[in-house]
Each structure stands twice: as structure tokens, then as C-alpha cells.
């Protein structure tokens, strides 16, 4: 299936893209690009989680190196950790709406809708970066957890806020539009650059064998970077 390279695309085209790699693509330069793509993915999650007041406790970025015949496979992944207290507060509000009954479903939806945008922001930021540098777009593999969460919430609220795909598509477009803001995107760029630098600085492998290397950016440092670039809780909301 052809890859949609428009700046803004549908949920399906953006979340399930799997562009084929050219033979021998994962040389040192290409591997570095995929590392950056993973960093942009996590930075997208992190910046919008801070905007939507979900807290931000830490970000991890992992580089796994595997031997595959005569070649090395470089696999990059990451995780953005939100505040447990913030999530617990949202869950309490949802339970209260459910107990009260009236308008429960709609009220609950508006509480969790930002979480759909935050989930979509990771792959949307990764896609935007890949488009900018001409890197293959492979969000299908890198965003499995994200689209599972978006799909799950979309199905829960089907019939209340439209059908499941409409809900997913709305959140995806909202995430893309927020990342088009110059201040937001510059903040994602700065955070991703620092995440990438951390992993490259910590590359302490001395033997050429396989291994896994993970770096962690503490929440206070990540939040300071975001604030320093002009983004705070409630920005654009």
C-alpha cells in the first residue's frame, strides 16, 4: 500500500504505516535516524502529557543490538511515564460520573479524550520527523501500544461520541494539529535531541557483541526542558 506523505493524514494512514526498508538500509547513518525517530516519538508523548496536566515522571530510551547473520539489527524503543497521581485523579472523577449517572458517558469521554491525543502524539511526532528527513515511516511496529489504547477507548465510547474510527481519527488529527504549532514542535525537537544525546553519550559497549542499553531522563529534567521552550500546562488547550 502506498505511503501517505501529506503533512496531515488520516488515523489509518498515519498509525499503520509500514514502509519497506531498502536492502542494507540500516547502516550507521540510517540506524542513527531510527534512534532519532524513537526519541521524537517519546518527546511527542511527553510534551503533550505535560500540556494536558498528566504529569511526567520520566522518559526512557532503549537501544537493542542483535546479530542477524552477517548484519546487525538496531532496535530502538522508549516509554514515557505519566504521573500516577494525575491518572488516579482522573479515574476517581470518571467513577464519580458513573455513580451519578446523568451525562456520565459524555463527561467521562471528555476526561479521557486528552489521553487519546497524548497516545496519538508519539507516532504523529515520529511520522512528522521521518517526513522531514526522508526516513522510512514505520509507525505500525513502533506504535502498537499506542493504537491499542486508542482503539480500546474508541470502542468503549462508540455510539456516544460517534463510531470507534471517528473517535480515533479525531484524536489523531488533534495530535497532528497541535504538533504543527511552532512552539510545540520546537519543544518536541529540543527534548528529542537531548534524549538522543543521552543515549549516544552512554554508549559504553566495548565489545562488538549484542546488548541492550537504556537511558532514563528524570521527570524534573524533562519538565524543565519543556518549560524552558515556552510550553506549560494548558498550552493551546
27-66 confidence digits (pLDDT tens): 555 677 888 999 999 999 999 999 999 989 999 999 887 7
Q: What's the pTM value of the predicted model, to 2 decimals?
A: 0.89
Rounded to whole angstroms, the Cα distance separating 6 from 8 reads: 5
How far is 135 from 19, CA to CA, in rounded Å? 9
Per-residue model confidence as pLDDT tens digits over 81-127:
999 888 888 877 777 666 665 455 677 778 888 999 999 999 999 99
State the Cα–Cα distance between residues 114 and 225, nearest whole angstrom. Answer: 21
Q: How many residues does the chain have?
A: 237
DSSP 17: -
- CA-based end-to-end distance of the chain: 35
Report the range of poorest mean pLDDT among 39-53, 56-70, 195-209, 219-233: 195-209
> Residue 78: in which H helix or E strand, if any?
strand 71-81
Averaged pLDDT of the chain:
85
d(CA 212, CA 205): 9
Q: Is 102 left (phi over 0), alpha (psi -120 to 50) or beta?
A: beta
d(CA 199, CA 214): 7
Mean pLDDT of 124-149: 90
Amino acid at each position: 500500500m502506498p505511503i501517505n506523505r501529506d503533512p496531515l493524514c488520516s488515523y489509518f494512514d498515519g498509525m499503520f504505516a509500514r514502509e519497506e526498508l531498502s536492502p542494507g538500509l540500516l547502516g550507521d547513518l540510517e540506524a542513527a535516524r531510527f534512534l532519532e525517530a524513537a526519541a521524537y516519538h517519546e518527546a511527542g508523548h511527553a510534551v503533550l502529557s505535560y500540556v494536558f496536566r498528566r504529569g511526567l515522571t520520566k522518559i526512557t530510551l532503549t537501544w537493542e543490538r542483535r546479530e542477524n547473520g552477517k548484519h546487525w539489527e538496531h532496535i530502538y524503543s522508549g516509554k514515557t511515564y505519566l504521573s500516577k497521581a494525575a491518572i488516579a485523579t482522573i479515574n476517581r472523577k470518571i467513577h464519580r460520573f458513573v455513580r451519578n449517572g446523568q451525562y456520565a458517558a459524555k463527561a467521562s469521554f471528555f476526561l479521557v479524550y486528552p489521553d487519546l491525543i497524548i497516545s496519538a502524539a508519539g507516532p504523529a511526532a515520529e511520522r512528522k520527523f521521518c517526513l522531514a528527513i526522508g526516513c522510512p515511516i514505520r509507525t505500525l511496529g513502533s506504535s502498537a501500544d499506542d493504537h491499542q489504547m486508542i482503539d480500546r477507548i474508541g470502542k468503549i465510547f462508540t455510539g456516544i461520541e460517534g463510531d470507534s474510527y471517528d473517535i480515533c481519527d479525531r484524536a489523531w488529527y488533534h495530535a497532528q494539529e497541535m504538533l504543527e504549532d511552532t512552539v510545540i514542535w520546537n519543544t518536541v525537537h529540543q527534548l528529542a535531541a537531548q534524549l538522543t544525546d543521552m543515549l549516544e553519550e552512554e554508549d559504553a559497549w566495548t565489545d562488538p557483541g549484542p546488548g541492550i542499553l537504556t537511558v532514563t531522563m528524570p521527570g524534573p529534567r524533562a519538565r524543565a526542558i519543556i518549560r524552558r521552550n515556552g510550553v506549560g500546562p494548558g498550552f493551546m488547550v
